């Protein structure tokens, strides 16, 4: 199961509803969350750090009978979720700086100013997949709960895998291609992180995350470095690591 799908299941259990993303950048193509490329031969299965979701194959439908009570609790405590999706990579250093501002480690507490109104304070949990500009082939797993935070290598994007290693079943191929960008430039590479929290400011969180994305000028250099061009499957992309 994909990390985003698992997190949305947690959110559904909390309030008894499915949530459509309200962000203008977040459209239906990303909400099926078919992260097959992070399972099996092409990636490591995401390890869930939440005690309530240790079994990735577990069906969450048993929570549905609590829908009414959960909805009441959700309204009372202001719990909701949203999915942050973008088709542009993060700049590693700017993302690191942002995370340290959000969740400073004790050894770095004096060096990094902490904003008293940090929007991350209202986030209970966030997880998903991120695209970093210093690794064109690798998808990274984002996991945050309380003071715990990690970003780790989660395997290759399908766009970085040769067609010969794709599933032979056309139906599975269509599922994979459903996560590809419409222009066919970057395949399934994207930011897709679900945030669950209490009275969160979606606008503030998205604005700060957007500040860590590549600028237009950096994006142009990124495309030049990686030779990005329209190609519906991005077959045989070399798995290199190069700074944008």
Question: What is 3-226's CATH superfamily?
Answer: CobW-like, C-terminal domain (3.30.1220.10)
Percentage of residues in the chain with pLDDT exceeding 70?
57
Position 13 scores a pLDDT of 54
Q: How many residues does the chain have?
A: 244
CA distance 235 to 244: 21
CA distance 128 to 232: 24
| Residue range 59-103, pLDDT digits in tens | 444 445 555 665 666 677 778 999 999 999 999 999 999 999 988
6: Cβ contacts below 8 Å, ≥ 6 apart? 46, 48, 53, 56, 127
Nearest to 5 by CA among 43, 40, 45: 45
Position 90 scores a pLDDT of 98
CA distance 93 to 96: 5
Q: Where are the alpha helices (DSSP H) in 87-139?
A: 92-102
In terms of C-beta density within 10 A (0-12 exposed, 13-18 middle, 19 or more buried), how is residue 149 classed?
A: middle
Position 120 scores a pLDDT of 86
| Residue range 206-218, pLDDT digits in tens | 999 999 999 999 9
Exposure string of 98-117, with b = 16+ CB inside 10 Å and e = fewer, is bbbebbbeeeeeeeeeeeee
Nearest to 43 by CA among 161, 132, 151: 161
Exposure string of 185-206, with b = 16+ CB inside 10 Å and e = fewer, is bbbbbbbbbbbbbeebebeebb
| Residue range 161-191, pLDDT digits in tens | 998 999 999 999 999 999 998 877 899 999 9
Domain spans, the chain: 3-226
| Residue range 128-165, pLDDT digits in tens | 999 999 999 999 999 999 889 999 999 999 999 998 99
Residue 150 φ/ψ, nearest 5 degrees: -150, 150
Per-position DSSP letters for 156-218, written without gaps between them: E-GGGS-GGGS-S-HHHHHHHHTTS-TTSSSTT--EEEEEEEES--HHHHHHHHHTTBPPHHH
Is the confidence at residue 124, as pLDDT, over 80?
yes
């Amino acid at each position: 199961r994909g990390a985003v799908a698992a997190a949305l299941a947690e959110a559904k259990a909390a309030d008894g509803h499915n949530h459509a993303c309200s962000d203008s950048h977040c459209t239906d193509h990303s909400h099926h969350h078919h992260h097959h490329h992070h399972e099996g031969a092409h990636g490591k299965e995401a390890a869930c750090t939440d005690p309530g979701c240790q079994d990735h194959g577990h069906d969450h439908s048993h929570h549905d009978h609590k829908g009414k009570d959960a909805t009441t609790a959700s309204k009372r405590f202001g719990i909701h979720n949203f999915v942050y999706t973008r088709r542009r990579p993060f700049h590693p250093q700017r993302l690191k700086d942002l995370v340290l501002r959000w969740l400073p480690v004790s050894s770095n507490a004096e060096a990094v100013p902490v904003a008293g109104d940090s929007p991350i304070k209202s986030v209970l949990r966030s997880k998903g997949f991120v695209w970093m500009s210093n690794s064109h082939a690798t998808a990274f797993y984002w996991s945050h709960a309380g003071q715990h935070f990690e970003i780790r290598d989660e395997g290759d994007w399908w766009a970085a895998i040769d067609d010969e290693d794709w599933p032979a079943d056309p139906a599975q191929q269509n599922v994979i291609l459903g996560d590809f960008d419409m222009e066919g430039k970057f395949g399934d590479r994207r930011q897709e992180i679900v945030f669950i929290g209490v009275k969160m400011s979606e606008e503030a969180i998205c604005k700060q995350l957007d500040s860590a994305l590549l600028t237009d000028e950096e994006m142009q250099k990124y495309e030049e470095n990686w030779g990005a061009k329209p190609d519906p499957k991005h077959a045989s992309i070399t798995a290199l690591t190069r700074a944008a």
